[in-house]
Structure formats: structure tokens, C-alpha cells
Amino acid sequence: MSLSMFRLDGKVALITGGNRGIGLAIAQLFVEAGASCLLTSRSETDALHALLAAHPDRVAWHRADVNAEDAPEAMVGAALDRFGRLDVLVNNAGIADNGDFHDFDDARLKRIMDTNLIAPFRIARAAIRPMLDQGGGAIVNIGSISGHVANTPQLQVAYNASKAAVHQMSRVMAFEYAARGIRVNALAPGYVVSDMTAGGIARPEWNRIWTENTPMGRFAQPEEMASCALFLASDAASFVTGAVLVADGGYTTH
């Protein structure tokens, strides 16, 4: 074992939601670790363009809604066309939606499940085929501590259920592909500063509750999730599969 095993030199990663938040931080660190990255999202950001401009040879972007019928094949095809192989998939794109369970209508339920569970399933299915052809790969699915606990004060049963399903999907995929060189793990972040949490962080009462429930007494920065994703994606985690890596400042210890 050497420190170089934490690097991704020569590897190609597909990262959904790579334009902002946790996905962008993962993309930035993966590029620094030597990977070529195909990033996907619906919208463009200045930070995305900065990364593209800084590494035109190793970063590419593909506009896609993860819920589009052809998105999985198109994304994987874009990565293969541009970089010739696919070693790592990070299923990061996701959405949250809060509300009382008894008022949570079918359209909102479908939107959460489609984006957070069905899309990662379909994208992993498309990505695993070239990984099988190559004889290996690594998949990192971004779950959440919401897959383990009931959040408070916000009510979000559908989101929690979608993330619990992502964890279990990861574990069972890991079982199915372990002998074929493909590792599958989930990363379960606690509260991370991003557009997803900005509204809650700005509300003093929510901010207080989220902070007090986190023994470290603070939110994570997206970069603190990127380091965890890099570990899971890299050869440093060569014997790690089917894990749900909780990175939550201690939130789920109590």
C-alpha cells in the first residue's frame, strides 16, 4: 500500500450533478487526484466553467436530466466517447422535498423517487456494462443520514425512504458484483452547506436544531464529502464494498 493508491491517475469518472455543491467538490478533488471526469447536470455554473477551462483535456460536461429516458446511456456514452473508458461512477444528483406525509401527493413522491432512486439505479445499470467489459470499476452512490434517521425539524418521509433504498441498493449491488471486480459503496453525509440546505441554514430555528444535533456543532463543507468519495472510488478502498460510509459530524451517534 502506498499513498498513490488514493489517487485516480488514468481513471475516468462519471459524476452526476457535478456542477455545484457536493458533486462539484467531488469533481474538483477527483481532477486533482488525476482522474478525467465527465460531469453531468441540467444547468451550468461559473464554477463548472472554471473547472472545464482549467482542465480542457480532462474535464467534460454533458447536459442531462437524470430522469430523461435516454440519460443513462447518453451519459455513459459521452464518457466513453470522450475518454475511452469508465472506471468510476458517482451517483450524486439528488433533490429534497419536505412536507407532511399525509399531504405529500403522488407527483412529489414520484419526483423524489425518480430522481433519488430510479435514476441512480438506471445510471449504475448503464455504467456497469463497460466496467464489466474492462474487468472492474467503482460506484459511489450518495445516500444520506436521512436513510438512517428521521430528520428534524423538517418532515421528509419520501426523501428518507429514497436514501435508505440507495443504501440497500448499494449493498446488494456490491454483493452481486464483488467477484467481478466492481465495488459499490454508499456515502451518507450529514448536514452539508449547499444549495440544498441553504434555505434551512438561513432559518435560525432549523439552523439551531441541525447544529445542536450534530455533536461537532457545525455543518460540513462539500469538500469534506469529496475526500470520502475519493477514498471509496480509489484503490485505497480495494477491500471496501457494500459499505455505507457515514460522514455526519457524529449526528447518528445519538
Q: Phi and psi of 12, rounded to 5°?
A: -115, 130
**Cα–Cα distance between 158 and 106 in angstroms, integer?**
11
x/- letters, 1..20, toward ligand NDP (CB under 6 A): ----------------x-xx
Beta strands in 125-196 (DSSP E): 137-142, 182-189
| Residue 130 touches ligand NDP, criterion: CB under 6 A | no
| Residue 228 touches ligand NDP, criterion: CB under 6 A | no
x/- letters, 25..54, toward ligand NDP (CB under 6 A): ----------------xxx-----------
Strands of the sheet containing 59-63, edge to edge, are 59-63, 36-41, 12-16, 88-91, 137-142, 182-189, 244-247
- Among 156, 194, 213, 214, which residue sits at the site for ligand NDP (rule: CB under 6 A)? 194
| Residue 109 touches ligand NDP, criterion: CB under 6 A | no
CA distances from residue 181 to 67, 115, 196 in whole angstroms, order as listed: 28, 27, 34
Q: With CA atoms as reference, report the closest residue to 94 among 38, 152, 166, 39.
A: 166
**Cα–Cα distance between 159 and 108 in angstroms, integer?**
10
User: Is 159 designated active site?
Assistant: yes
| Residue 23 touches ligand NDP, criterion: CB under 6 A | yes
- Among 32, 65, 70, 133, which residue sits at the site for ligand NDP (rule: CB under 6 A)? 65
In terms of Cβ atoms closer than 10 Å to its own Cβ (0-12, 13-18, 19+), residue 46 is: exposed
| Residue 147 touches ligand NDP, criterion: CB under 6 A | no
- Among 61, 83, 191, 251, which residue sits at the site for ligand NDP (rule: CB under 6 A)? 191
- Among 37, 93, 157, 245, which residue sits at the site for ligand NDP (rule: CB under 6 A)? 93
| Residue 156 touches ligand NDP, criterion: CB under 6 A | no
Which grid coordinates belong to 37?
Answer: 471526469
Residues that bind ligand NDP (CB under 6 A): 17, 19-23, 41-43, 65-67, 92-95, 115, 142, 144, 189, 191-192, 194-197
Residues recognised as catalytic: 159
